[in-house]
Amino acid sequence: MIDAGLVTLGILAGGQALRIGGRDKARLVREGRTQLERVLAAFHLPFRERLLSYNRDPAGLPAIGLRVVSDLTAGFAGPVAALQALAAECHSPWLLTVPVDCTSIPPTLGIDLLAAAGADGTGIDDADGPQPLVGLWRVAALRPACEHALASGHPRARDVRAALQVRILDLSPLRLGNLNTPEDLDPP
């Protein structure tokens, strides 16, 4: 098992959220807490550092031990650009990433990711299939995988994950879920 002190937590919250009208997912409130607060509570291990990939004005975000990083690529270049930015700013050998819009994070997910690591980390599959933005990554392998994906002109997080030697942790039948549509915000 990898020691949490060798790991940086990286939260991806830098997207445009076009499918929910451009609302800032980090600040969305569900059950009395923002999504950012919910994700931080789910990953309570003693990480070396906590980073937030965020391409908006961070004023007013809870100052809860986070260092905000912006994409290295101009505009909203997508999740691979966020992974690249987090990896570039990571000062530990391992980076655990999770999107801020996950709705159902198991309480032991952080520990499970650290315990299951392969050579380059741990990837997650759930009932919906591969979840390429949730995982534990060896930073020395993640950086060139992100660069290669971005240079391809069609960067996809699943291609980054496929380029790495990760052990897959299958959470099925669990579904991590995400907030991508107005219906996801207010389920029936």
The answer on pLDDT for 165 being more than 70 is yes
Tell me whether the omega of the peptide bond preceding residue 144 falls within 30 degrees of 0, making it cis. Answer: no
Q: Where are the beta strands (DSSP E) in the chain?
A: 7-12, 29-30, 33-34, 49-53, 67-69, 94-99, 121-126, 129-138, 166-170
pLDDT over 50 (residue 188): no
The answer to whether residues 179 and 103 touch, using CB atoms and an 8 Å cutoff, is: yes
pLDDT tier at 71 (50, 70, 90 boundaries)?
A: confident
Q: What CATH code would you report for 4-185?
A: 3.90.550.10
Q: Give the tens place of pLDDT for each residue, 27-61.
A: 778 888 888 899 999 999 999 999 999 877 777 77
Domain ranges of the chain: 4-185
Has residue 118 got a pLDDT over 60?
yes
